[in-house]
Copies of this chain bind each other. A is one copy, B any other.
Amino acid sequence: MSGERNIEIICVGNELLIGKTLNTNAHWLAKRITSLGLKVRRIIVVGDDLEEISSAIKESINRKPCFIIITGGLGPTFDDKTLEGVALGLGLKLQENKEALEMIRAKYERYVAEGRIRGYEMTPHRVKMARLPEGAKPLPNPVGTAPGVFLEYDGVKMVMLPGVPEEMKSIFDESVVPMMRKIAGNLTFYEVSLDVKNLPESELAPILDIVMHDNPYVYIKSHPKTSEKTSHLELHFSTTCEDSNTARQRIGRAVVQISEMIKKKGGTIKPVKG
């Protein structure tokens, strides 16, 4: 499973572990990374805990993905522990990074100029956002205060992003997408869904085996819409390749073959829009 297109996502935050917050960050990142032609292999969620962050990073590095994306824990409060956790996990020191400090200072200057705050001091809690693992570089945060962080370690590119969704997304799009495009080249992800009725999943199963065997480049997965007894499911076809013609041909062939087999068994099919 290791490979140059594999990516892992680590989300840091107690709010995810107590079920307060739905993990839309991981969902957004997974969709985005997949659409870039790369492959998310694992998503890990840990709490605001140094040991947990550090061990998750170490384990992930050992699986040798090309990228690790870490979200959450970059802010000014006591429970923002991601930078310290990464440093601990990799045996690196935390160092005040001049460039990061300037980015943060510039933000507060702007907040004062815009009348959002009256004044500011570079308190220890604010300086903390600029204390990066040695060798790391800050990534500009277009919509918030804490910079993102980039670090390459043992051949693995690591990116730390804030947990606030709009900040996470904007740093990702501005700084991370260009790096990922270089790795993905022309690869793109293609998908199609069919809605299947009147055929229980257990009767679809042997059909799937045959069509998957005959179409080695297409991954087909059945998603029961509710539970099996209602016999209503979504069939999802996907492939990752370099041009859309090939993708369309590959998926089209599998769709035609499976549709005929499903109809023979008495099932009904229609395309899913969206």
Contacts and interface: CB of A to CB of B under 8 A. Distances in A.
Classify the secondary structure of A's interface with B.
mixed
A43 to B, nearest CB: 4
A18 B19 CA distance: 22
A51 B41 CA distance: 11
Contact of A223 (B15, B117, B146): B15
Interface string A134-158: 0000000001111000000000000
Size bin of chain A's contact surface:
35 or more
A205 B76 contact: yes
Interface string A1-31: 1000000000000111111111110111111
Nearest to A18: B34
A97 interface: no
Contacts of A24: 22
A204 B76 CA distance: 9
A40 B20 CA distance: 12
Contacts of A116: 229-231
Contacts of A39: 17
Nearest to A30: B19
A250 interface: no
Interface in A39-77: 39-49, 51-52, 56, 59, 75-77
Contacts of A1: 49, 51-52
A16 B43 contact: yes
A208 interface: yes
19 contacts: A15-B223, A17-B42, A18-B189, A20-B236, A23-B23, A26-B45, A41-B52, A43-B43, A43-B44, A59-B59, A75-B228, A77-B208, A77-B222, A116-B231, A123-B202, A123-B205, A144-B228, A145-B227, A167-B227
